[in-house]
A and B are shown apart, each in its own frame.
Chain A
Amino acid sequence: MWVVLFCTSALALLTKLGGHYVPASWLSNPRLQRINALIPIALLSALVVAEALTNKTKLVLDHRLAGVAVALVALMAKMPFPVVVLSAVFTSAFIYHWH
């Protein structure tokens, strides 16, 4: 836990500092730029799936998926972020206790 905390923090700061010291010309490779712009999208997508559908290395369908499905509906209805998260939380808790 502590290892994750401190390594993540150190690397996050090094990444940020790196950007401040590296000349902007390094940015010029358009292919690298495109890949960099897509990385957060790929990672966040994978994280949604990993957190909603998996338990260790198994795929499981449970209360979490129901919560995320409701969150998706809230996002499509253009609800603000706290409403999105809370709708998922309430749905999931309801189903967890109900079955």
Chain B
Amino acid sequence: MILSKTGEMPTIDPRVLRYSLSVSLTVGLYGIAFGAASIASGFSVLQSCLFSLLTFTGASQFAAVGVVASGGTAFAAISAATLLGTRNALYGMQMAPLLENRGLNKLIAAHITIDESTGVALSQIEQGASSMRQGFWLTGLGVFLFWNLFTLLGALGAKQLGTPASWGLDAGVPAAFLGLLWLRLTSNFLRLVALAAMIFTVVVTPWMPAGLPIISATLVAVVAGWSERSSQS
């Protein structure tokens, strides 16, 4: 697929390959955490694996099983996961003109449009469009391979362990969210938004059905984004 778009056979840049592989493997390892979290939330091994195969966007998967684990409704779980995945649409808008795929290739390209494939593609911007395309495909497919492999291992491992709480797995899920969040807190304004969303969630939790506080925290993002220009220098 890396080769089929324009018909030419570009040689794979070894630097892009190395970079894509290291990203794929590192990110793929998080799949263990997802597999374990999914089992801890009451999903089966098959369901956990299908999540990684079909949903294939890590934060949304964690959100879906996380909301279910906290007693939220199916609607709350699906909404939280979908809202968390909206950034993939933005990535798609950036990648589509670069990839120029059609038909099945476009469908596969869309499925592997995630943080990492887009990130690696954009990091190759100085090397030109061919390197960017290679970065996108190699990273997207690489993450897909390792993410699914490690989800299976994590799910099987967690299944062997039994009660999630007695192994601390119920703390692993929020810790994973905190880790994902941490990477994004690159300015004081963003830290403030995170803190506001946390306080908001604590305050509204006793007053709302389970799962709803998570979705309504997007209000914090809307308010903050709306007024950002005036509050940020």
Contact = CB atoms under 8 A, between A and B. Distances in A.
B124 interface: no
Interface residues of A, number: 75
Given A11-B78, A20-B109, A45-B201, A4 B64 contact: yes
Interface in B35-90: 42-44, 47, 50-51, 54-57, 59-64, 66-71, 74, 77-78, 80-90
A67 B175 contact: yes
Contacts of B33: 82, 85
A23 B56 CA distance: 24
B213 A46 contact: yes
Interface in A23-57: 23-24, 26-27, 31, 33-57
Interface stretch (B1-9, B14-22, B127-135, B202-210): B202-210
Given A19-B113, A71-B175, A50 B93 contact: no
Interface of B: 29-30, 32-33, 42-44, 47, 50-51, 54-57, 59-64, 66-71, 74, 77-78, 80-97, 101, 106-107, 109-111, 113, 165-182, 184-185, 190, 193-195, 197-198, 200-202, 205-211, 213-214, 217-222, 224-226, 228
Interface of A: 1-9, 11-13, 15-24, 26-27, 31, 33-59, 63-64, 66-68, 71-72, 75, 81-82, 84-94, 96-97
Given A16-B110, A50-B174, 8 more contacts: A4-B78, A16-B113, A20-B106, A22-B93, A35-B222, A38-B193, A41-B221, A48-B198
What are the 9 tightest A-B residue pairs by CB atom distance, in nearest-first order?
A19-B92, A67-B171, A93-B168, A92-B171, A35-B225, A88-B175, A46-B217, A19-B89, A51-B174
